[in-house]
Amino acid sequence: MSVEESISRCPKCDDALDVQHDGSTITVDIAHQGERVAEALEIMQQEINRARAGFAMQIRLIVGSGVIRDEVLLELRDLEFRGDIKGFDCEHSNTGSVVVRLK
For every residue of 42-101, DSSP letters joined together read HHHHHHHHHHHHTT-SEEEEE--SSHHHHHHHHHHHHHHHHTSSSEEEE-SS-TTEEEEE
| Residue range 50-57: mean pLDDT, rounded | 84
Please tell me the pTM assigned to this model: 0.78
Structural contact between residues 72 and 88, judged by C-beta atoms closer than 8 angstroms: no
pLDDT digits (tens, 9 = 90+) for 10-41: 777 776 666 665 667 899 999 999 999 999 99
Per-residue pLDDT band for 5 (boundaries 50, 70, 90) equals: low
Angle at 49 between CA 15 and CA 46, to 5 degrees: 170
- 87 φψ region: left (φ > 0), alpha (ψ -120 to 50), beta (else): left
* pLDDT score, position 71: 97
More confident residue, 53 or 81: 81
pLDDT digits (tens, 9 = 90+) for 62-76: 999 999 999 999 999
Q: In this prediction, what percent of the chain has a pLDDT beyond 70? A: 86
| Residue range 84-89: mean pLDDT, rounded | 94
Domains identified in the chain and CATH numbers: 19-101 (3.30.1370.110)
* 25 to 17, 34, 44, 70: CA distances (angstroms): 18, 24, 15, 22
* pLDDT score, position 1: 60
